Amino acid sequence: MNVLLYNLVTAAVLVLAFKAAERLTPRRRFPVLAIVLTGLVIGGLILQATWHGAMDALDSDPSRGGWWRPLTSVIMQNGGVVGDLWNVATIAVIAAYAEWYWGRLAAAGLFLAAALVPRWLDLLVGDAQVSTEPRNWAGSSGMTYLVAATLAGALAVRALRTRRVRDGLLAVAAPLVGLATWLAQDNAHGLMIVEGFVAGAVLAALVTERSRRASPAPAAAEPDAVPAAGGPAASGPAAVQAVGRSAASGPAAV
């Protein structure tokens, strides 16, 4: 029963983050990064099925050395058939939304950071409990949850700017539930959601501010000016090259 409750709550937290990602209405282009990351995870499953020593060689067991382990452990899976299918499906969906909103290169950087930074944070704050649980030595879910939560953080910033209460409530639901699951269940996925939300909010706020500063002041309209045949130019901050986005409609895909 405890395992079932743990899994249901873990899934619910990601669903909340996914709903927040949907509200950002990103530009939908072919999600190259999502295809690549999903292929890596599937490749990891094939490797596990064909090489019995794959988990021992590639997981992030702290008792074993190897600089590669933080990177390779995220393509190993240890959640059983249902958990493995869940991880494949969720990384495909979340990677697509992250690529559409943050841009391809920025989203790739977020996934890389999600694989590396949490371990450093655990060491920084002296939290050895999370890193020594066998269930956290492998799996892509933590990385997926952290990146998904960055989209909730971005939605929270947009909600503050546009004063959309509904969006704001949806955005903060994921980290609040995540924090509760971390405290009540010692669920590391909840901690990932909180960390991702903070990172996403900070990034979105910085990019929005940079967009506003980079946007030139609108020129005064001529009294007799006639709009062009295509209509007036779209308003809003200029796109920021670093993440390929505009503050008006969200980051564009690279």
Q: Is the pLDDT of residue 228 over 70?
A: no
* pLDDT (0 to 100) of residue 152: 94
pLDDT of residue 203: 93
User: What single-letter amino acid sits at 96?
Assistant: A
pLDDT at 138 over 80: yes
Q: What is the pLDDT of residue 159?
A: 93
Q: What is the mean pLDDT of residues 99-110?
A: 93
Q: How confident is the model at residue 183 (pLDDT cuts 50, 70, 90)?
A: confident
What is the average pLDDT value for the chain, to the nearest integer? Answer: 79
pLDDT band at 119 (very low <50, low <70, confident <90, very high): low
In the chain, the amino acid numbered 41 is V
How far apart, in Å, are the Cα atoms of 145 and each of 15, 29, 67, 109, 249? 10, 22, 23, 15, 24
User: Domains in the chain and their CATH numbers?
Assistant: 2-215+236-251 (1.20.1540.10)
Confidence of residue 242 (pLDDT cuts 50, 70, 90): very low
Q: How many CB atoms lie within 10 A of CB 215?
A: 17
pLDDT band at residue 50, thresholds of 50, 70 and 90? very high
Radius of gyration of the chain (CA): 20
pLDDT at 215: 56
pLDDT of 102 reads 92
Q: What is the mean pLDDT of residues 172-195?
A: 87
Lowest mean pLDDT among 25-34, 120-129, 165-174: 120-129
pLDDT at 200: 94
Query: What is the pLDDT, as a whole number, of residue 63?
Result: 80
Model confidence at 226, in pLDDT bands (50, 70, 90)? very low
- pLDDT tens figures, 66-84: 889 989 999 999 888 999 9
* Half-sphere exposure (Cβ direction) of 95: Cα atoms closer than 13 Å: 27
- Give the CA distances from residue 77 to residues 42, 83, 88, 173, 245, in Å, rounded to whole numbers and listed in that order: 10, 8, 10, 28, 33
Looking up tokens 């990384």 gives 91
User: CA 198 to CA 64: how far, in whole Å?
Assistant: 31
Percent of the chain with pLDDT over 90: 45
Q: What pLDDT does residue 132 have?
A: 53
- Lowest pLDDT segment from 52-56, 137-141, 155-159: 137-141
Q: What are phi and psi of 250, to 5 degrees?
A: 95, 165
The per-residue pLDDT for 64 is 84
Per the model's pLDDT, the better-predicted residue between 31 and 137 turns out to be 31
C-alpha–C-alpha distance, residues 245 and 231, integer Å: 22
pLDDT for 135 equals: 59
- Contacts with 6 (C-beta within 8 Å, 6 or more apart), sequence order: 185, 187
